[in-house]
Amino acid sequence: MSKEQFKQVLQKEICRIDESKTAKRHERVIDTFTEDHKAIIEGKPYTLFNSNDYLGLRFHADVHAAETEASLRYGAGPGAVRFISGTTRVYKDLEDAIASFHNREDAMVFSSAFAANLGVIHCMVKGQSKDALVGGDTLIVSDALNHRSIIDGIRVAGLSRENKTIFEHLNCDDLSTILQKHAGTFRRAIVVTDGIFSMLGESQDIKKLQEVTHACDDLYEEGVITIVDDAHGVGCFGETGRGSEEYTGGQCDLLVGTLGKGFGADGGYVTGDKIFIEYLRESAATYVYSNPFSPGTAGAALKAIDIVNGEEGRLLLNTLNENITLFKTSIRDAGFTLAVESFHAIQPILIGDPVKTHALTDALFNQGFLVTNISYPVVPKGRDEIRVQLSALHDNKDIEQFVKACTTCVQH
C-alpha cells in the first residue's frame, strides 16, 4: 500500500511538470531519414534545424563503414569495463587520435561527455578517497551558466558551500577578482566552464581565461587548474574544428569533449597532460566502473576525426560557416533579432514571450521544420528564444525556406 502512495507522489509531480508546460518526455519519434537527411515523422518529411550533428557526419558512408568494420572485428559491445577485461585496440587508437587532434599528451574516453564531467570534476575537485594524497582542499569556480553535467559533477563532489563559487557568465575579470579574493585559503583552485554555451551559442574566451588563471597560479600552493567542456565546439568550431581553444587562441589544462555532436558518433572524452589522465584512469568512477560505448561507435568516431582532419573536413567546416552567415543575414533581413551575436552553429532567434515562442515552434513544425523553443528558467524571463542549429547538411534552399516560414508563421 505504501508503494501506491509513492506512485501517487510521482503522479502529482508529473502533473505539476505538465501544467508548467516544461515536459520533456513527449519525444518526437523519427521513423526514418530520407536520402537528403529529412526526418520522416508520421509519413511527413521535416528539415532538421535542431540537431547537434553540425557537419552531418552521422550520415557519412565512410563513418558507417568504419562502424561496421569495428563491430565485426570486436563485437557489438565492449564485454566488460576496461580494467576487468582489457580493452580492444580501437579504443586505444581513438584515444591516441583524440590526444593528437587536440595536441595533448593523452586522452581517455567515457560513455558520454556527461559521464566525463561527472568523473573528471569529482576526481579533480574532491580527490579519489580519504586515503589518497589528493584531498578536497579545493576552491571550485564555475561559470554561472554552465551545463547541467558540470553542475552535477560539482554536486557529486560534495564540497562544502565555502569551497564553491560562481563567476559571472563570460566575465573573466570577475573570475580574476574571485581567484585573488580567495588566495591563500585553499591548496588549489579549479576553474570550470563550457567552451560553447548550448542555449545561445556564445563562446568562452579561453585565451583570456588562460591569462587570468595563469596570473593567479602562484596565489595557490598547488596552482589553478582549468577544465573546459567544449562539447558543442569540438569538431565544428575554429578554423580546423579544434573548438573554442582554436577559435580564441587559448588552452586549458583538461579539455572535455563529446563524440556525439560535431563528430556525429557518440561518447565523451577528456584530454590533457599524461599525469592528469593517468590519475583519472585510476580514479574516475564513471570510467573505472562503467562500460565504454561500443567498439562500432569507437570505429565510427575514429573515422569522423580522420575526416575532420582532412580536406573533406575543411570543406564541411566551410559549408557550415557559409550556412551560419547566410542564416544570420537572412533572418535579420526578415526583421528578426538574434538574442546574441553567436559565430557558432547555434543561433538563437529572440522572441521574448513563452506563449509566442511555443506557438512559433509549433507553426514551424506544421510547415515541416524542427526547431527548439527555449524559455524560462533555461533563459531569463523575457529572453524566450527559438534555438536554431545550422549544419553543413543544409543547402541555401533549406535556409531560405526556413526563414520564409518564420516570416509567414509570425504574420499569422
Ligand X SMILES: Cc1ncc(COP(=O)(O)O)c(C=O)c1O
Interface residues with ligand X (CB under 6 A) are 112-114, 147, 149, 194, 198, 229, 231-232, 258, 260, 268
* Nearer CB in complex with ligand X: 111/330: 111
Length of the chain: 412
What's the CA angle centered on 315, arms 311 and 316, to 5 degrees? 115
Nine cell digits for residue 347: 543561433
Least CB distance to ligand X at residue 378 (A): 12
Helix intervals (H) in 32-88? 61-74, 82-85
The three grid cell numbers given for residue 1, joined into one nine-digit string: 500500500
Residue 238 Cβ, how far from ligand X at the closest point, in Å?
A: 16
Strand partners, 106: 272
Nearer to ligand X among residue 115 and residue 141 (C-beta): 115
Measured from the CB atom, the residue of 127 and 235 that comes closer to ligand X is 235
Q: Give the number of other Cβ atoms within 10 Å of residue 163's Cβ.
A: 21
What is the C-alpha to C-alpha distance for residues 88 and 295, in angstroms, rounded to an integer?
Answer: 8
From the candidates 37, 102, 122, 261, give the one annotated as an active-site residue: 261
Which lies closer to ligand X via its Cβ, residue 192 or residue 349? 192
Q: Which is nearer to ligand X, 63 or 405 (CB)?
A: 63
d(CA 304, CA 320): 16
Smallest distance, Å, CB 123 to ligand X?
A: 17
> Which one, 150 or 406, has the nearer CB to ligand X?
150
Active site residue 232: yes
From the candidates 232, 303, 344, 394, give the one annotated as an active-site residue.
232
Task: Give catalytic status of residue 198 as yes or no.
Answer: yes
Q: Which residues pair with 393 in a beta bridge?
A: none
Beta bridge partners of 109: 269
Of the residues 198, 203, 283, 391, only one is catalytic, namely: 198
Question: At closest approach, how far in Å is the CB of 4 from ligand X?
Answer: 35
Q: What is the closest distance, in whole angstroms, from the C-beta atom of residue 120 to ligand X in the complex?
A: 11
Go through 368-405 and write b for each residue having 16 or more CB atoms within 10 A of its CB, e for each that does not: bbbbebbbeeebeeebbbbbbbbbbbbeeebbeebbeb
Q: How many CB atoms lie within 10 A of CB 309?
A: 15
For residue 381, give the nearest of 359, 363, 357 by alpha carbon.
357
Residue 26 annotated in active site: no
Assess contact for 267 and 259: CB atoms under 8 A: yes
Closest separation in Å from C-beta 348 to ligand X: 14
> Catalytic amino acids?
198, 232, 261
